[in-house]
Amino acid sequence: MLLAARDGAFESEGYAHRWSVFVQQTASFVAQGRPRGRRRSDLLALAKDVWPGETANVVLDHLLEVENLVENQGRFILGESWADAFDQGGHGMHANLRTSGGVPVVDAGTGEVIARVGGQPDMTKDIALGGQRWDVSYVDGEFLLKAKDAGPVREGFEYASRSAPTSLEYAGHVRCGLGLGELDAPFFDSPDGPIWLHFGGSAYQTLLCRILPSLRPVSALGGLAVKGTPTRSALDELIVQEDVLCGTVDQVFADLEPMLAVGPYQRDLPDQCRKKIVADLVGIQAFQNWLKTRRLWRITPNDPHWNRLQVILPER
């Protein structure tokens, strides 16, 4: 990945009208106009120059239906849930990035929230953070840090681990690191049965496992490999079934959303908008072309790629 960055090979990103941004902008704009609120025309103006059409009206109608917004004498004001959120600090609703949970870690010198961590201490202590020694105390629901002079450090914060979806581009970096070609999608025999290294990323894998039930995820190789091996004929048959592919995307759109960086306000959109965004980001034609161009072949212990392959295989 570092070599790709050096060479200017940036990840591509599927294009879609990300209407979750309009939801966030609407919430922020209405909040700034309190107590009088905003007219529908004011809100539509946020979108019309960028994304003309009737979708903005559909989104506003949905926000009224779920009572995130309330219409009063021709003006839109915040509904109870959104009003409460803004009264409690906005919870990131003035931006399309949502702050994660956890206890805030605050630099006592600047007041800046520099991190969020889990747990709650029962004592004051010193820790290491960012190469600096700090005194830490827990006050009013926050960790307060005060820089100390250099010296021995007792311990550091423990951050919770997290899993993230595997993008198609990241899977490609792994494939390249194994010395495989751009179109290579080999399989090999393991003690638990055949494993197919598809390198398609989490979204493509979700579709594959839904359409081809014989394929099952490998927990330690999410977005990289599945148990089972499809035949070339099975993939070719799938390629021409565009209605099946589109229908499957519709069925699992909520599962695909976290894998496609749709934004934290995607859930506030009507389902038809959510499905359209997911379908655009997946790209049915791109998925069909990916299936069509996969080169299936078997890796054996005598293959020069076998030793490299051991690096990514889960321990039994």
- Give the pLDDT band (50/70/90) at residue 280: very high
- Give the pLDDT band (50/70/90) at residue 131: low
Mean pLDDT of the chain: 84
Nearest to 82 by CA among 102, 98, 103, 67: 67
Neighbours of 79 (CB within 10 A): 17
Neighbours of 215 (CB within 10 A): 20
Quote the pLDDT of residue 263: 84
Residue 151 DSSP symbol = -
Half-sphere exposure of 252 (CA within 13 A, CB side): 21
What's the pTM value of the predicted model, to 2 decimals? 0.75
Question: Which is it for strands 193-197 and 187-190: parallel, antiparallel or unpaired?
Answer: antiparallel
Quote the pLDDT of residue 137: 79
DSSP for 195-261, written as a single string: EEE---HHHHHHHHHHH-TT-EE-GGGTTTEEES---HHHHHHHHT-HHHHHHHHHHTHHHHGGGTT
Quote the pLDDT of residue 310: 80
Cβ neighbours of residue 82 closer than 8 Å, sequence gap 6 or more: 27, 30, 31, 68, 69, 93
Quick check: 172 and 185 in contact, CB under 8 A? no
- Tell me the two tokens of residue 62: 């949905």
Neighbours of 69 (CB within 10 A): 24
Weakest mean pLDDT among 33-42, 48-57, 254-263? 48-57
Q: What is the mean pLDDT of the segment spanning 38-66?
A: 91
For residue range 250-265, what is the model confidence (pLDDT) as tens digits? Answer: 999 999 999 998 888 9
Residue 99 has pLDDT above 70, yes or no: no
Residue 143 has pLDDT above 90, yes or no: no
Cβ neighbours of residue 187 closer than 8 Å, sequence gap 6 or more: 194, 195, 196, 197, 229, 296, 297, 298, 299
Residue 51 has pLDDT above 70, yes or no: yes
Quick check: 20 and 47 in contact, CB under 8 A? no
Quote the pLDDT of residue 124: 55
Q: How far is CA 272 from CA 47, 62, 253, 269, 297, in A?
A: 18, 11, 10, 8, 40
Q: What is the mean pLDDT of the segment spanning 97-116?
A: 66
Quote the pLDDT of residue 127: 72
Quick check: 179 and 305 in contact, CB under 8 A? yes
- Give the pLDDT band (50/70/90) at residue 199: very high
Quote the pLDDT of residue 308: 83
| H or E stretch covering 78 | strand 75-78
Backbone φ/ψ region at 94: left (φ over 0), alpha (ψ -120 to 50), beta: alpha
